[in-house]
Structure 1
């Protein structure tokens, strides 16, 4: 059995008679006690701890700690406890010393003192039993480790993707709004390409009709020449041959002109009901289309421009002049219509570009990442991850203090 000596004298063994009557050093019937090994404490002069029966490494640790043990590990023996004189018998195989806390007095077991010294939750220090099966401190530290990892993962995901909303869990309402805007934006971009295709189609038709215009002008010049009676029959015959060749070429041009797989100057796409409709919006409404009609050049060549015989006279050529003037007017009107449609396409493209710009800006404000904010969260997550890992490692080691209790004789 071990005891504590605190009054400058040596400690004495405790006997069973101590239960009935305290042993006094002044009693004449008590023989002088034999010396007991003690370890001095830093609490003050004359304070020492009986270490008889303790393992040497534990006695050395207790003597080394004293009042210099920091609060971060649970405070030292002398800083939280004041060892006072007195002797109590051993209980349950543990050495018992009489100590008083700075907050509350009374005897506590040496196991409680050791638990407090090594920062463990014990019955004497924290009101909870010492356990090796359940490490509450480690569980708490692990929860904080998981939370720190989540912060780090979220910030890394946002920084790497550049988006604040990567899943619906990030912002369900914001995700719905962003996807709706994305639909409008993508539809508007395709509408721009549709309008550009429409411009290509109209430009092709206008270029071909420009050539037809020139050919009709040449036919008119020949008709004016043939109407002059200074030309004989032979000369008028040659003029008629050239005019008929031009007429056939106009018909051939109308038959072979093709844009995007469609023959636009034939017998189709002439009436409004048969017009080509170009989608220039992202929604399914009639206001989102432009109808484009063309002129039937084949019909002009075969039906409207009359054949001039080689023996034609002045009257025949004058009739040809009037006929050609009418067809020139038809071509001019068709080209004017195509020009207005082309201008409309260009204005539509400008409007759609502004729409796409505004939609992109709005979508970015909703789902794009704030790099400065996410970078600060990333650094916070790194710091929390490192500190929580360090504390988890400390918490995992804490139950090893139980081995010190088991090693006490």
Structure 2
């Protein structure tokens, strides 16, 4: 049937042209971006999956950086422990020298002074070693948790130990005890009986009873000396009795100091090279300290190895996830180039067919003219 009101051929050609034009635009967008999915309309499900994969990949990359930071932290701590180990070895060498019977007291005093200076250096290293502001070896940090994965449970703890001299069992006698005794002396001031009784009460009724019963049940010599000195000071410097509240407060202060494991440990574990006997006793403490440091270094080494393996695993996982995401969202250039050529041909052909359809309408006019 010949009609002029509706050009069906032209409409169909126009529809084909629009379809070819859309295919041409899609192919050009994919080829220019390199992505098969450029918006949700391209592949809604694929976009959702690839978005989750992208989040996973970025999180894992951050976790790998965290693990590398953890390795650096462990290396920093381990390096400082290496220095402490060398210092302990030197102190042990001095202790062996001091234990020798051919060494004079003057020589031992020099050896003891060097040992004390080295113990101070151990404390300095322990108190100043840090990573990004986090103290590592003074006992304040505890275990450091490293986030090593994309999930909340993916964590690795790096165990850090307090390696100050007291914690290692090689500290010096704590000056804080002397300060507390001085404070008690100033507060009691009412005579020998009051001063000595207050000091003994503080020592014997503290929160950690039993710490004064070393050396076969006798008071520690340092404490006996403190009591004697306090008694002498009180008898030589008589003054008006102080209120009971002052005595009680001073006792409480001393009791807290005595109750401190760190302070009591310092008295029990003091390194003393001033005599042959104490130098020999110090060897046992130094061996224990060296073993402690070695164990901590071994733990840090194990943490470094674990984190290195974790990084390798993360790298493998990221590679596999990236490959899987690529298969979902990346454009296949071979296929898209073919699709582009096809769309170009169809667009050109449909345009030509529109022209032909419009030309067919002109033939109706020839019938009218005749």
* Shared fold per TM-score greater than 0.5: yes
Q: Is the 8 A contact 1:306 1:320 kept in 2?
A: no
Q: How far does the alpha carbon of each residue in 1:137-176 deviate from its partner, in whole angstroms, 9 at most, with x for none?
A: 3332221111111111111122222222222222222222
Q: Secondary structure at the match of 2:134?
A: coil
Give the corresponding residue for 1:110: none
Give the corresponding residue for 1:326: 288
Instruction: Classify 1:235/1:212 alpha carbon distance in 2 versus 1 (closer, same or farther; 3 Å).
Output: same
User: Residue 72 of structure 2: which of 194, 200, 205 is its match?
Assistant: 200
Distance 2:273 2:311 in 1: 55
Q: Is the 8 A contact 2:70 2:307 kept in 1?
A: yes
**Which runs of 5 or more structure 1 residues have no equivalent in the other structure?**
1-126
Distance 1:353 1:196 in 2: 12
Distance 2:141 2:299 in 1: 13
Give the corresponding residue for 2:4: 130
Give the corresponding residue for 1:237: 109
Q: Is the 8 A contact 2:172 2:271 kept in 1?
A: no
Give the corresponding residue for 2:48: 176
- Once superposed, what is the RMSD of the aligned Cα atoms? 2.4
Instruction: Classify 1:236/1:304 alpha carbon distance in 2 versus 1 (closer, same or farther; 3 Å).
Output: closer
Give the corresponding residue for 2:218: none
Moved more, 178-187 or 275-284: 178-187
Moved more, 299-308 or 352-361: 299-308
Instruction: Classify 1:366/1:324 alpha carbon distance in 2 versus 1 (closer, same or farther; 3 Å).
Output: same
User: Residue 363 of structure 1: which of 306, 311, 325 is its match?
Assistant: 325
User: Residue 144 of structure 2: which of 276, 287, 292 is its match?
Assistant: 276
User: Residue 290 of structure 1: which of 144, 156, 178 is its match?
Assistant: 156
Distance 1:162 1:311 in 2: 75
Give the TM-score of the pair, scaled to structure 1: 0.62
Aligned residues between the structures: 274
Give the corresponding residue for 1:387: 349
Instruction: Classify 1:302/1:356 alpha carbon distance in 2 versus 1 (closer, same or farther; 3 Å).
Output: closer
Give the corresponding residue for 1:252: 124
Q: Is the 8 A contact 1:202 1:338 kept in 2?
A: yes
User: 1:186: Cα distance to partner?
Assistant: 2.2
Highest relative contact order (Cα 8 Å, sep 6+), 1 or 2? 2
Distance 1:395 1:309 in 2: 108
Q: Is the 8 A contact 2:134 2:141 kept in 1?
A: no
Q: Secondary structure at the match of 1:297?
A: coil
Query: Which protein shows a greater Rg?
Result: 1
Give the structure with the larger helix fraction: 2
Distance 1:196 1:302 in 2: 29
